[in-house]
């Protein structure tokens, strides 16, 4: 009875086992006899390999192997290994019924009876084609990514271990930083940082930030293999595994030196534009003030001049007071010239100037002015071309620079005045046009200026000499002269070492020399004048009154007009006017416009334009004599004679 129950149970267990195997479709499970012939076949085997049980049972399992594996004896070796070692496991390509291949994971276990005799094999096969394809795709993707990273040359892309040591290196890193992979892999990435940044712990801070926040980004100076610096944009990203453990960092560096330089150049251009606009606004204001100041000085000087002429010769005290007032007014006139020089509106009488000769001519004046503690040294080459500028203004500029140098050397010292020829190429000095220049240098060994003071040295009204000891217009005047002459003022100074001021002036060309008028010809005027009927036109009633008074004192008859329109109407009523003297800066109708109107209607009537500015066009300068404000009676008489003589020659 018990034996019958065991047979029933055994049969029931075998039935359930068969049902289990038959239900599995994701694995091929089948039996082989000791020689490798198929003796059972489950649905999973049919699904993978494409054979029905009736088609494959009794056939050797080697037909599932590829031809090359069969030729190599792999099926027989698999059975022998399973029989001898108790198990055989491998992955490889297998064939389906239709001849297609698929990647499998196969296990072969030996089956033995209770006595240990080999009675066959159990073979379990799993289709891993999709996994194999995914792995292949992953490897291909990794290879492509590696190739991509290695091919990038505009970015340094490399990996760091958690401590910051380099574990990979791409072509961009080699190009930007100068190291090849063999030199740098295994080294700490902090070697790319500046010494001061390493001392502050910047590399470690970047890694800590990336580890904590996932990303670190910054711009800064980095060092190449050859020691040169470049401005870099740096990004560090933390790399973590599936469990979130930090396994390293990805570092991307880009050389943006050109971008930074372009940005710096843009900022400098903006600052230069701002400074230019500021100086232009100040220049306009200064020029306007100088114009009004000129008119006031014109009244004061002409009134004093007329007053002195009427003073009794024996009244020495009053004459001394008048002379003092005249000197003060003349100093005021010199100040207006500085203001106009800064505003680039002074009148330049440009001629061919021999710099060594000019400096030698004022050397005694310079030495007396500077005092015995200052030792003058002149250094000029044997032959130096002439420059095209205003000699008188250049003398004033040199005197200004020399006085500044004296003030910077309270204990005395050498003052070196030298000159050299320079050739400027395109773009070499942004402020200068290409060509030949003479660089006139004034060098001292005084206190010097720090960078903050140096940056403001040529600003108008800026001075370090204290209240009442300087106008702050000296260097502005020198700069104005240089720029109006087509040159440049360059200052170089270091605190405690001294200052060098360089005036760059263009060399006079043959064409320019031919156009320059000889001063002697301008000053050749008759000693006496006939009585004239002169019309004076000025919108300032005080200037109008004093100009008329000086003319009347010279014996001339004067007709006054306060505007261009009034002057034209007066000329139409009175036909016997000999000459017209008109102010330039008038509302409504400027002096040059009035002069052109007179030339059109009365072509034989000479016109003199009086102005303190240099704004007259070249054509106006050629057609009409110019009288610089402020002027005295002698200058007025001289200009009258010059205008009448020129008019007589042109008839």
Return the minimum-mean-pLDDT range out of 297-311, 528-542, 544-558.
297-311
Q: How confident is the model at residue 471 (pLDDT cuts 50, 70, 90)?
A: very low
| Average pLDDT in the chain | 80
Most confident of 95-109, 319-333, 519-533: 95-109
Greatest alpha-carbon span in the chain:
173
Structural contact between residues 487 and 437, judged by C-beta atoms closer than 8 angstroms: yes
This prediction has a pTM of 0.42
Instruction: Say yes or no to pLDDT of 415 above 80.
Output: yes
Return the minimum-mean-pLDDT range out of 146-155, 207-216, 369-378, 617-626.
146-155
Q: Name which of 151, 191, 193, 142 is nearest 174 in CA terms.
A: 151
State pLDDT tens for residues 43-92: 888 888 899 989 999 999 999 999 999 999 999 999 999 999 999 999 99
Which pLDDT value is given to residue 468?
A: 41
Q: 350-515, what's its fold? A: Heat Shock Protein 90 (3.30.565)
Q: CATH 3.40.50.10330: does it fit domain 152-255?
A: no
Structural contact between residues 238 and 211, judged by C-beta atoms closer than 8 angstroms: yes
Bin 162: left if φ > 0, else alpha if -120 < ψ < 50, else beta: alpha
Q: How confident is the model at residue 118 (pLDDT cuts 50, 70, 90)?
A: very high
Structural contact between residues 494 and 454, judged by C-beta atoms closer than 8 angstroms: no
Which pLDDT value is given to residue 634?
A: 86
Most confident of 261-265, 282-286, 536-540: 536-540
- Rounded distance between C-alpha atoms, residue 579 and residue 604, angstroms: 10
Q: What share of the chain is helix, strand, coil (3-state, %, to 5)?
A: 50, 25, 30
Enter the tokens of residue 319. Answer: 């004459």
The DSSP-derived string for 6-26 is HHHHHHHHHHHHHHHHHH--S
**CA neighbours closer than 13 Å in the CB half-sphere of residue 29:** 13
Quick one: what percent of the chain has pLDDT higher than 70?
A: 75
Instruction: Say yes or no to pLDDT of 275 above 70.
Output: no
The DSSP-derived string for 430-442 is TTS-SEEEEEEEE
Place of tokens 């300032």: 540
- Rounded distance between C-alpha atoms, residue 501 and residue 513, angstroms: 27
Structural contact between residues 108 and 82, judged by C-beta atoms closer than 8 angstroms: yes
Distances (CA, A) of 600 to 49, 91, 430, 532, 594: 114, 111, 44, 22, 10
SS3 sequence of 289-334: HHHHHHHHHHHHHHHHHHHHHHCCCCCHHHHHHHHHHHHHHHHHHH
- Rounded distance between C-alpha atoms, residue 331 and residue 337, angstroms: 10
Over residues 95-115, the mean pLDDT reads 91
For the chain, report the end-to-end CA distance as a whole number of angstroms: 162
Kindly list the domain boundaries of the chain, sorted by start residue. Answer: 11-129, 152-255, 261-342, 350-515, 524-650
208-215 contacts at long range (C-beta below 8 A, 24 or more positions apart): 209/236, 210/236, 210/237, 210/238, 210/249, 211/238, 211/246, 211/249, 214/238
H/E element, 579: strand 579-583
State pLDDT tens for residues 575-596: 789 999 999 888 889 999 999 9
Q: Is the dihedral of CA 5, 7, 10, 12 positive or negative?
A: negative
Q: Which CATH superfamily, name and number, covers 11-129?
A: PAS domain (3.30.450.20)
Instruction: Say yes or no to pLDDT of 8 above 60.
Output: no
Q: How confident is the model at residue 608 (pLDDT cuts 50, 70, 90)?
A: very high
- Rounded distance between C-alpha atoms, residue 157 and residue 153, angstroms: 9
Structural contact between residues 255 and 157, judged by C-beta atoms closer than 8 angstroms: no
Instruction: Say yes or no to pLDDT of 6 above 60.
Output: no
Read off the DSSP letter of residue 285.
Answer: H
- Rounded distance between C-alpha atoms, residue 325 and residue 330, angstroms: 9
Which pLDDT value is given to residue 567?
A: 92
Structural contact between residues 578 and 554, judged by C-beta atoms closer than 8 angstroms: no
- Rounded distance between C-alpha atoms, residue 346 and residue 306, angstroms: 27
State pLDDT tens for residues 203-254: 999 999 999 999 999 998 999 999 899 999 899 999 898 888 999 998 898 8
Structural contact between residues 477 and 407, judged by C-beta atoms closer than 8 angstroms: no
Bin 36: left if φ > 0, else alpha if -120 < ψ < 50, else beta: left
Instruction: Say yes or no to pLDDT of 518 above 50.
Output: no
CATH architecture of 524-650: 3-Layer(aba) Sandwich (3.40)
Phi, psi of 171 (to 5 degrees): -65, -35
Same fold? 261-342, 350-515: no
Number of Cβ within a 10 Å radius of residue 65 = 20
Give buried/exposed letters for 146-169 (b at 16+ CB in 10 A, else e). eeebbeeeebbbbbbbeebbbebb
The CATH code belonging to domain 261-342 is 1.10.287
Q: Name which of 63, 62, 18 is nearest 41 in CA terms.
A: 18
């Amino acid at each position: 009875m018990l034996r019958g129950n065991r047979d029933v149970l055994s049969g029931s267990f075998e039935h359930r086992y068969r049902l289990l195997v038959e239900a599995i479709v994701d694995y091929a499970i089948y039996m082989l006899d000791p020689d490798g012939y198929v003796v059972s076949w489950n649905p999973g085997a049919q699904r993978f390999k494409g054979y029905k049980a009736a088609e494959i049972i009794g056939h050797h399992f080697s037909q599932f192997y590829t031809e090359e594996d069969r030729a190599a004896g792999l099926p027989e070796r698999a059975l022998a290994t399973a029989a001898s070692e108790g198990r055989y496991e491998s992955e490889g390509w297998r064939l389906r019924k239709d001849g297609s291949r698929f990647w499998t994971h196969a296990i072969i276990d030996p089956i033995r009876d209770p006595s240990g005799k080999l009675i066959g094999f159990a073979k379990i096969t799993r289709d891993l084609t999709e996994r194999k394809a995914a792995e292949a795709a992953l490897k291909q993707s990794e290879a492509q990514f590696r190739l991509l990273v290695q091919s990038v040359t505009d970015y340094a892309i490399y990996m760091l271990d958690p401590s910051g040591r380099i574990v990979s290196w791409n072509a961009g890193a080699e190009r930007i930083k100068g190291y090849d992979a063999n030199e740098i892999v295994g080294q700490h990435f902090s070697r790319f940082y500046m010494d001061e940044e390493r001392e502050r712990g910047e590399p470690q801070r970047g890694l800590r930030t990336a580890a904590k926040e996932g990303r670190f980004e910054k711009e800064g100076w980095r060092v190449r293999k050859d020691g040169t610096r470049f401005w870099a944009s740096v990004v560090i990203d933390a790399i973590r595994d599936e469990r979130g453990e930090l396994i390293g960092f990805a570092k991307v560096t880009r050389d943006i030196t050109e971008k930074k330089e372009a940005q710096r150049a843009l900022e400098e251009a903006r600052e230069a534009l701002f400074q230019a606009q500021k100086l232009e606004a100040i220049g306009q204001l200064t020029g306007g003030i100088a114009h009004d100041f000129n008119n006031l000085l014109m009244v004061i000087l002409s009134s004093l001049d007329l007053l002195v002429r009427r003073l009794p010769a024996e009244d020495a005290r009053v004459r001394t007071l008048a002379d003092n007032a005249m000197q003060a007014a003349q100093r005021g006139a010199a100040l207006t010239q500085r203001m106009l020089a800064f505003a680039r509106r002074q009148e330049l009488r440009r001629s061919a100037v021999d710099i060594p000769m000019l400096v030698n001519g004022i050397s005694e004046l310079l030495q007396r002015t500077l005092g015995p503690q200052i030792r003058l040294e002149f250094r000029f080459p044997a032959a130096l071309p002439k420059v095209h500028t205003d000699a008188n203004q250049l003398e004033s500029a040199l005197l200004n620079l020399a006085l500044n140098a004296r003030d910077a050397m309270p204990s005395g010292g050498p003052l070196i005045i030298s000159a050299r020829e320079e050739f400027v190429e395109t773009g070499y000095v942004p402020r200068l046009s290409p060509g030949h220049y003479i660089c006139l240098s004034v060098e001292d060994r005084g206190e010097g200026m720090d960078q903050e003071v140096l940056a403001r040295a040529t600003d108008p009204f800026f001075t370090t000499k204290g209240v009442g000891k300087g106008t702050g217009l000296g260097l502005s005047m020198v700069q104005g002269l240089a720029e109006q002459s087509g040159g440049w003022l360059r200052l170089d100074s270091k605190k405690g070492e001294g200052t060098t001021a360089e005036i760059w002036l263009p060399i006079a060309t043959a064409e320019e020399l031919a156009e320059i008028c000889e001063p002697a010809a301008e000053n050749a005027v008759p000693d006496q004048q006939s009585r004239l009927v002169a019309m004076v036109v000025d919108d300032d009633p005080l200037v109008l009154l004093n100009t008329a008074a000086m003319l009347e004192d010279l014996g001339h008859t004067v007709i006054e007009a306060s505007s261009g329109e009034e002057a034209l109407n007066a000329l139409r009523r009175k036909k016997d006017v000999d000459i017209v003297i008109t102010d330039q800066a008038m509302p409504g109708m400027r002096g040059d416009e009035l002069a052109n109107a007179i030339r059109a209607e009365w072509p034989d009537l000479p016109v003199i334009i009086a102005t303190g500015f240099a704004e007259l066009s070249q054509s106006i300068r050629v057609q009409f004599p110019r009288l610089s404000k402020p002027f005295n009676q002698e200058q007025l008489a001289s200009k009258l004679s010059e205008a009448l003589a020129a008019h007589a020659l042109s008839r």
